[in-house]
């Protein structure tokens, strides 16, 4: 009989074999941790550029196609609603198949959504616009979920710093994006595409490149390695029967504290997201009403997005050093300041609006990193990706609510009313943190 052809290696077996190499080698784990951070940073530079498109011109595009301020908050609502749905989907994919598949697929969907938005603008189809914005939100969700990838192999005192490094990388693309509004508008016009759809051309390329980076380079998958390490540790513990009885009360206590940490971490991210999206969404419309052009709007939004991400390297270290609760309270106070300043800012004062939106971004940054670190601290690696995805759904829904309500509040009242309401809501973080500290003090 002729020799049978050699069988192609099974990719799953190869992946499992590579993961096993890392379980027993702390040195390899450290190398993979650093390599993962580098890959996340590369992808986030492109992801940030994609994120900026919908934030900068989404409301203006809807206003142009639908007419009136009442519907100007719909794009932000759709982007964040799509982000919420995608967060659930990406979380489940990551839990089942690892970060590489989950994050790569999420960015791919975001790029497809941007293409649909461009076609909707060309064909003046509101239905396609809504569909495209929903799918484009997947890129936004993935951009946020990528921050978790850097924490999978991080030590407890490295987690907030790892999150911050991913967010700093987002700054480069996120700040460049709004400042390219006019350039991309000219590019779009040369192809017969409406000017306001130009930034979505940038979003298409950026999200697809971010997805490619994860698909091509995130091997072995850090989340799968972390799960394998925890599984091995659990197997070893099963053989140690002597400590099971004494550890049970301690395990139950730790479980209660962990659940409380998940609840409080989620609350921090939900409140900060709702406040930030609501005020940010209506700022371009508010500025346009007071005679500011696209270039000035792009400048304000780019500084706002820069403040959302650029301080991360410092704030991440502060969260690790000073604690999650301290920085969460600081987040609430800064967001209150942003709301007050935006409310009293003269409509024609570019400088005051820049300061208000910069504070809004900084407050969101502190809340997101503090809340995320709480979640990572409180979750078990075996279920971490699924839990993170579910929590980001709530964060996305809160942003959708903030975006949808913002247009209605401004239409019925004013931008100042919206800003003041947002600031007051953010201040609720203070009593939440006081409650959290008291409960933990009683449990210890």
pLDDT at residue 16, as a whole number: 62
pLDDT value at residue 236:
66
As to burial, measured by CB atoms within 10 angstroms (0-12 exposed, 13-18 middle, 19+ buried), residue 257 is: middle
Q: Which two tokens stand for residue 313?
A: 């390297």
The pLDDT value given to residue 14: 52
Residue 297: other Cβ atoms inside 10 A: 24
* Cα torsion 221, 170, 367, 75: sign: negative
Helix/strand/coil percent split, the chain, to 5: 85, 0, 15
Model confidence, pTM: 0.75
CA quadruple 199, 388, 84, 275: dihedral, nearest 10: -80
Confidence at residue 6, expressed as pLDDT on a 0 to 100 scale: 47
HSE-up (13 A, CA, CB side) for residue 361: 26
338/334 Cα distance (integer angstroms): 6
DSSP 221: -
Domains along the chain? 24-233+252-443 (1.20.1250.20)
- Could you tell me the CA-to-CA distances from 335 to 209, 246, 338, 368 in Å, in that order? 33, 45, 5, 12
Each residue's pLDDT expressed in tens, for the chain with a length of 444 residues:
444 444 444 444 455 667 878 888 889 999 999 999 999 999 988 988 887 666 667 777 877 777 666 666 677 678 778 888 888 899 899 989 999 999 999 999 999 999 999 999 899 888 898 899 889 989 988 988 888 888 898 888 888 888 888 888 877 777 777 677 778 888 888 888 888 888 889 889 999 999 999 999 998 999 999 888 888 777 666 666 544 544 444 455 557 778 889 999 999 999 999 999 999 989 988 898 888 887 888 889 888 988 988 898 799 999 999 999 999 999 999 999 999 999 998 878 899 999 999 999 999 999 999 999 999 889 888 788 888 888 988 887 888 788 888 988 988 989 999 999 999 999 999 999 999 988 877 766
Angle between helices 126-149 and 159-179 (to 10 degrees): 150
Closest CA to 209 of 48, 99, 34, 396: 48
What is the per-residue pLDDT for 253? 54
What per-residue confidence (pLDDT) applies to 396?
A: 79
The pLDDT of residue 9 is 46
Q: Residue 443: its pLDDT value, please? A: 66
Give me the pLDDT at residue 420, please.
94
Q: Which residue has the tokens 């989907």?
A: 89
């Amino acid at each position: 009989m002729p020799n049978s052809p050699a069988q192609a290696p099974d990719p799953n077996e190869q992946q499992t074999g590579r993961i096993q190499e890392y379980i027993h080698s702390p040195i390899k784990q450290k190398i993979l941790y650093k390599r993962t951070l580098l890959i996340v940073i590369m992808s986030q530079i492109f992801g940030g550029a994609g994120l900026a498109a919908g934030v900068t011109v989404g409301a203006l595009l809807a206003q142009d196609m639908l007419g009136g301020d009442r519907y100007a908050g719909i794009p932000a609502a759709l982007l964040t609603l799509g982000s919420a749905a995608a967060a659930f989907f990406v979380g489940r994919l990551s839990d089942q198949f690892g970060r590489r598949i989950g994050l790569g697929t999420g960015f791919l969907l975001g790029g497809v959504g941007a293409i649909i938005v461009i076609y909707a603008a060309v064909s003046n189809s509101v239905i396609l616009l809504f569909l495209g914005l929903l799918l484009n939100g997947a890129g936004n969700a993935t951009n946020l979920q990528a921050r978790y990838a850097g924490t999978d192999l991080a030590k407890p005192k490295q987690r907030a710093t790892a999150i911050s490094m991913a967010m700093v990388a987002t700054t480069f693309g996120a700040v460049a994006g709004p400042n390219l509004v006019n350039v991309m508008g000219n590019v779009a016009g040369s192809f017969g595409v409406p000017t306001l759809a130009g930034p979505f051309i940038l979003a298409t390329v950026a999200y697809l490149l971010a997805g490619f980076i994860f698909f091509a380079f995130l091997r072995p998958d850090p989340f799968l390695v972390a799960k394998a390490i925890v599984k091995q540790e659990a197997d070893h513990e099963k053989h140690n029967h002597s400590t099971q009885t004494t550890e049970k009360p301690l395990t139950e206590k730790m479980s209660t504290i962990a659940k409380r940490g998940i609840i409080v971490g989620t609350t921090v991210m939900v409140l900060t997201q709702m406040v930030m999206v609501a005020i940010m969404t209506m700022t371009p419309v508010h500025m346009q009403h007071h005679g500011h052009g696209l270039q000035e709007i792009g400048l304000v939004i780019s500084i706002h997005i820069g403040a959302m991400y650029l301080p991360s390297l410092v704030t991440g270290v502060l969260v690790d050093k000073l604690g999650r609760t301290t920085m969460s309270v600081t987040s609430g106070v800064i967001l209150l300041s942003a709301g007050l300043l935006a409310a009293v800012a003269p409509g024609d004062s570019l400088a005051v609006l820049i300061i208000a939106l910069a504070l809004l971004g900084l407050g969101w940054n502190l809340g997101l990193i503090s809340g995320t670190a709480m979640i990572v601290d409180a979750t078990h690696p075996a279920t971490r990706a699924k839990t993170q995805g579910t929590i980001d759904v709530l964060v996305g829904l809160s942003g959708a609510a903030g975006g949808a309500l913002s247009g209605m509040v401004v239409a019925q009242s004013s931008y100042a009313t919206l800003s003041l309401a947002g600031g007051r809501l953010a201040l609720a973080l203070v009593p939440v943190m006081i409650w959290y500290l008291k409960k933990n003090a009683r449990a210890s």
